[in-house]
Structure 1
């Protein structure tokens, strides 16, 4: 019996054990850690160092703008699908970029440890910005690597789960542990240590498996010989399409780049308003790089299927301009035409699901601490214990449960249950906003209040911990299922671009809606807001059910390899 057939016949827990023991799963955990560590250090812990160095708040606000690298990482993802790193290209299509980014990040953290954030603020901010760019680049390629290397043993579901576990562990190491070390040593020592860890991970990555060449380049090879064959879209039409898409992506890159440069200027008066930029220009960037190119891709697919504007005979590229056209078309347009061609009108459902699935926890995340500290009047120590230590443990538990559910129940059932739980747990916070009587009853009757009291807390702290535990377990289950789902609908040949686009859109509504949500909190209070976020989560539940029905009806024809009904 083959390994694939043998694994397929195993009970759920044996499949989990087989997947966990796989070499790819081990490296996926390491890569998840490598993705989470620089994010925690550059967009969180760094502010603690700047505060200790007495850098003014306005200057610290500039550093927060480096987070835009993560929001707009899809803008340079086409290059990561097409270009090779000199010398390192022999490592593999994905590994060459992963190892390069990790070694660069390690070196940047080491150099940062040698700089004074006050006297060398210019170099400090420049390196932090380059580090954020390298970190976002690493995220794109690691997501693509996960899609490319998944197989029937190291499944996309298990790889997605352990990736997030590694990421969350890194958040603890780069956050709580870094603060702990800084209190006992100093910040240069902390960042030197973290830089050494990243360098070690980069060297370990040299031995990581990469996708089989035949798997990764199958679509690319077909394009190489197929774009100019009879029956394909005429190069003139492709040229117009590439021109429009190229101009739109170029505008987006320049717009974001100029904003970043202006924001890092030395004169505070000339710095643009980041909130205004994200709320006004952000949607335009998405329209220019996602919406309009998708409509163009849909038109191209329709022309090809209707037999219009097609080559009547082979027309090989005889000039450099023709070859450049083909390369540019493969990088920017083909990932979208592949999406539209495989999924058709179902892409509308998928985009709706992508935009709404994580909204229940992402949109109000910025107001969590004001809610805990201001509205509920917990102390900082209580919030730290409940959210950072106990909460992270609950999140890890949720991820583990989500991974097991994916293996035993199937992806779409887990995705739908995750959406239900993520929406429903907002009602726990709604109850807290009204005094928390229901949460208190559950905590008391389950014995949780007694346990917390015997560990040095009180009933009031137990109530907060109960709510946070409920939400984080739900978020863990939903997160494991959602990453697995996104990974399943992208094509191996275009995984970097397609996944980067989807993951960026995931946070779009939450990012754009925080201003309105803040105003709503001021006017109507937290209780009403939590009822609203619960209702928003209900939209995601409905879309999950529609998508589940679509996949169960179409199966492999939908372009999504799914066994959602197994075990149901």
Structure 2
């Protein structure tokens, strides 16, 4: 019986989703935490390093040029793989170029290369999201989401932790980035051998239709605005609970090293286990039931931090319990949420609609931070985590309202 559920992972489409998830995640740390470490070693001041965080802006605004991806396919490797190949070659070339620069003496060019990496990476994300949505069969979306998250996390470890280890006396920073460029280049081979979607769709006939038609098509659906509210609300409670979690744990007396180890080991493992468990359970339960159960678990596991708050003193066992359960449920919820986004996309406008929907899912993660700070000041940590669990309830209510619509998406 169990082998029947595992069989969904055993095909080329799922393999492509995992490896392209790796390709999607690899550039992220190279313009984020790893880049900051290189700039710090190069002797740049904190203000300059702070300005470099702005190179990540393309990830926020990628939906603006996603209609171009829908409108203008490359003349090779199909509607999506041609674009993926171009972005991967561009990424490998720019990372390699960056590896030959000294940030002290070529700061402006260095910043431009970092910005280009973020731009091509964000564009690659748009196309990979569209490709994954189109290539996977409906029953494979949960598995595809799980392996995609797995590949993404492994890539972030590669360009994050592994890159830092390599640059700490084994290689120079320049050589480390050259290695990352080589790994990025090998992703083009994955793209070349990835399968084409069975259902071939034609691109929009004009740029205007590429911009207007995706919105017109989506908002012509029954309950379109409620669907958008669900996309925002489903993981909003999680976003509140996680927005100040590091600050909370420091206030509770945990050391930075303990917090880091707990998140990197227990948190990562729990997220990956949750993702794969969520995919298998989705095959049995379907999209709607999975969204409901995983949403409830997300709300309940936020209370692990409430237990730490009322305990009042550092307890390693309680910390590991809270982080593990929260990330386990979060991994399940993320798998179901990604499957929901894929289900909501019209195959004719996949790149544009997915980019817009994924931007909405990031709304909570980006904007709840300031509100969380004021809320903690007003009510304290224990009440804050109770409220974060309650904030998940509107998303669950929207699921009930949209149950018929979501059941149709699962067919």
Q: TM-score range by the shorter chain?
A: over 0.9
Residue of structure 1 equivalent to 2:256: 380
- Matched-pair contact (CA < 8 Å) for 1:358–1:507: no
Query: Structure 2: how far apart are the matches of 1:523 and 1:117?
Result: 44
Does structure 1 residue 196 correspond to structure 2 residue 72? Answer: no
How far the C-alpha of 1:40 sits from its partner, in A, is 2.4
Residue 340 of structure 1, aligned match among 219, 239, 243: 219
After superposition, the C-alpha distances for 1:534-563 in whole angstroms (9 at most, x for unaligned) are 1111111111222224444xx3xxxx2x15
Q: Secondary structure at the match of 1:72?
A: helix
Query: Structure 2: how far apart are the matches of 1:152 and 1:504?
Result: 22
Which 4+ runs in 1 deviate beyond 3 A?
363-366, 549-552
Residue 374 of structure 2, aligned match among 501, 504, 519: 519
- Matched-pair contact (CA < 8 Å) for 2:201–2:348: yes
How far the C-alpha of 1:176 sits from its partner, in A, is 2.0
Residue 179 of structure 1, aligned match among 161, 164, 169: 164
Residue of structure 1 equivalent to 2:24: 35
| Larger RCO (CA under 8 A, 6+ residues apart) | 2
After superposition, residues 62-81 of structure 1 pair within 5 angstroms as 62-81=51-70
Residue of structure 2 equivalent to 1:359: 236
Residue of structure 2 equivalent to 1:508: 363
After superposition, the C-alpha distances for 1:446-504 in whole angstroms (9 at most, x for unaligned) are xxxxxxxxxxxxx9322211110000000100000000011011111110010100000
After superposition, residues 243-262 of structure 1 pair within 5 angstroms as none
Residue of structure 1 equivalent to 2:79: 93
Instruction: Count residues in correspondence.
Output: 410
- Matched-pair contact (CA < 8 Å) for 2:71–2:207: no
Distance change >3 Å, CA 93–CA 402, structure 1 → 2 = same
Residue of structure 2 equivalent to 1:464: 319
Distance change >3 Å, CA 34–CA 511, structure 1 → 2 = same
After superposition, residues 134-283 of structure 1 pair within 5 angstroms as 134-151=120-137, 155-185=140-170, 186-212=172-198, 215-217=200-202, 220=203
Does structure 1 residue 492 correspond to structure 2 residue 369? Answer: no
- Matched-pair contact (CA < 8 Å) for 1:12–1:404: no
Distance change >3 Å, CA 551–CA 208, structure 1 → 2 = closer
Query: Structure 2: how far apart are the matches of 1:540 and 1:23?
Result: 34
How far the C-alpha of 1:12 sits from its partner, in A, is 6.1
After superposition, residues 397-546 of structure 1 pair within 5 angstroms as 397-435=273-311, 460-546=315-401
* 5+ residue gaps, structure 1: 1-10, 225-326, 438-458, 564-568
Residue 403 of structure 2, aligned match among 528, 542, 548: 548
Does structure 1 residue 14 correspond to structure 2 residue 1? Answer: no
How far the C-alpha of 1:366 sits from its partner, in A, is 4.3
Does structure 1 residue 331 correspond to structure 2 residue 320? Answer: no
- Matched-pair contact (CA < 8 Å) for 1:16–1:407: no
Give the TM-score normalised by the residue count of structure 1: 0.69
Q: Secondary structure at the match of 2:311?
A: coil
After superposition, the C-alpha distances for 1:238-266 in whole angstroms (9 at most, x for unaligned) are xxxxxxxxxxxxxxxxxxxxxxxxxxxxx
How far the C-alpha of 1:188 sits from its partner, in A, is 2.1
Query: Structure 2: how far apart are the matches of 1:365 and 1:132?
Result: 25
Distance change >3 Å, CA 365–CA 135, structure 1 → 2 = farther
Give the TM-score normalised by the residue count of structure 2: 0.94
Does structure 1 residue 368 correspond to structure 2 residue 223? Answer: no
Does structure 1 residue 390 correspond to structure 2 residue 266? Answer: yes
Q: Which moved more, 1:137-146 or 1:519-528?
A: 519-528
- Matched-pair contact (CA < 8 Å) for 2:219–2:225: no
Query: Structure 1: how far apart are the matches of 2:237 and 2:263?
Result: 17
Distance change >3 Å, CA 33–CA 70, structure 1 → 2 = same
Q: Secondary structure at the match of 1:215?
A: coil
If you compute each CA radius of gyration, which structure gives the higher value, 1 or 2?
1
